[in-house]
Amino acid sequence: MCGIFAYTGKKESLPILLDGLTSLEYRGYDSAGIYMAETGSVKSVGAVENLKLKIKGDEKGKSGIAHLRWATHGEPTEINAHPHHDAKEHIWVVHNGIIENFKELKEFLTKRGRVFLSSTDTEVLAHLISYYLDEKKNFEQAVIAALNDVKGTYGIAVSYKNEPEKIIAARQGAPVVVGIGDGENFIASDPSPILRYTKDVIFLQDGEVIVITPSSHLIYKLDSSQIKRDKETIEWEVEQARKSGYEHFMLKEIMEGPEVIENTIRGRLIVEEGLAKLGGLEMVAEKLRSMKRIIIVGCGTAYYAGLVGEYMIEEYAGIPVEVEVGSEFRYRKPLIDEHTILLAVSQSGETADTLEAIREAKRKGVLTLGIVNTVGSTIARETDAGIYNHAGPEMGVASTKAFVSQLAALSLLTLFLGRQRQMSLSTGKRIAEEIKLLPEKIKQITDKKEEIQKVAQKYSEARDFLYIGRKYNFPIAYEGALKLKEVSYIHAEGYGAGEMKHGPLAMIDEHFPTLAIVPSDSVYEKNVSNIQEIKARKGKVVSVVTEGNKELDDLSDDTIKIPKTLEMLSPILTIVPLQLFAYYFATTKGLNVDRPRNLAKSVTVE
């Protein structure tokens, strides 16, 4: 989820470019850079402040492009920082997204004498546009020809040294907004850096290319045909724009679930062969075949993701799995050997206890893997191999989209390990097909957010809440309760539904509601029995059920419907209404869900 920004107009562009990058810092960053045709580029690792320190003060130009990088290919270094250029340093590109076929394109260009400096997928775009520019002698045509060769996602801005007033932008799966000013025009990843200059914008659609100069803008399709679209006026303030119009980052990030899953699985599923292609595991793929045991380590939400992964991997890959809280693992004396994998799950890649668990395992000669969202983070560097989430930065302290992404990554890992072993082609295909359908199914849930809001508001005066689930959704009961605790500050407990008679049932009365996770799966009837126990004691019940289930409409006080999927994938769907429930429960009470009291986003100390 990188940030791009560009300007062309009558003013000096440097302060505008730096101001734009500062407005985009909420999207996350590990490096930053700018390019102006008159004076070249400046790059730095880290925040925009680091970039400002490298500015000499004599950089001039009436147009330029700028970038904040959230790494997907290549470590966070100045070489890998954007903008990237061709061999002649005539074509410069900033890019948000992932070029899936960059290896094939790089090989094609290398054979034709192009020399690459970075390890990013973006540099391929600069060389490819340059390649077509040599052939077509036209900037616009070269960009369009290059984009027709590209597979993947992109939001880009391109500058050409010989036509400095002209900037070209394009979109495929990654947002691009064009600001229309008076004698000046802007390009950005979202409206936030534009709104202080103009509120007149054009939102590019997938497969569109726009050419801007200080006084004009032309929109093309990838077949070079020209189209017209009227500008629209945004009434948002800057802070609202950062949140894409949502009131809170937490809601925005829940609603990004479909996009997050698409980014996590993109290029990693070979559906017709029932396979998961995980490039980050290729170097240890053969070693993984001989592994006999997996220990998953995580903290908080990542720990609960690991619990779901335990069910997935044991049932479909046939490997024994244990899940450990990072803060406990490091103080135990775990029995591990060369046939054990330690799999660390962490959004930030900096969680102190999880990191120490990795170091302890490495001291004992154990193969270490990571599922990490932040490229170049400490855990990403110190593990032997792993999987990047590609979920983009998560601003809300209470993790939502990162958890969904972690579950998706664990399902890919399960498919990868299972097909190495005894999983059949038909089972692999069925899992891969269902994984591919997850983004649309999550959207079906988020489209009903107003219904979930009404249920949450109904129970918002409750001081206690019990969450119950079984098998794959046993960990989701824990995670759902955690979300409610984090943002609403009320007492909420997650429990295995089969444990009701062993204590929790004593708490139930008309003032102690229960949220039951009851999809139509192999333990459905058992869950129904538990709901009946609660209702017999006058407890209120909110049930999360599979569409088409009418039995629980009568037995429950309220129901929330989710689409049907494979049992192993159901947690990726059941967690979404629980996240929305927690969000609306807390906002009804007037609480700041993005910054819960006493909590921090990343726990980097004990």
3-class SS of residue 503: coil
**122/119 Cα distance (integer angstroms):** 9
Chain centroid to CA 350:
17
Residue position matching structure tokens 């616009």: 140
Side chain identity at residue 186, one-letter code: F
Q: Hey, what amino acid is at 322?
A: E
Q: Which two tokens stand for residue 109?
A: 């260009």
Q: Are 21 and 4 in contact (CB under 8 A)?
A: no
Length of the chain: 606
Spatial CA neighbour of 133 closest among 124, 144, 122, 123: 144
Could you confirm whether 601 is annotated as catalytic? yes
Nearest Cα neighbor of 265 from 458, 442, 519 is 442
Q: Which of 52, 231, 535, 601 is catalytic?
A: 601
299 in catalytic set: no
For residue 574, the one-letter residue type is: T
Please pick, among 2, 43, 441, 483, the residue that the annotation labels catalytic. Answer: 2
* DSSP strand pairing (3-8 vs 491-496): unpaired
Residues 6+ apart with CB under 8 A from 66: 4, 5, 6, 17, 18, 20, 21, 32, 33, 34, 35, 83, 94
Helix axes 474-488, 570-588, angle to 10 degrees: 20
C-beta of residue 476 within 8 angstroms of C-beta of residue 495: no
Q: Give me the active site residues, please.
A: 2, 601
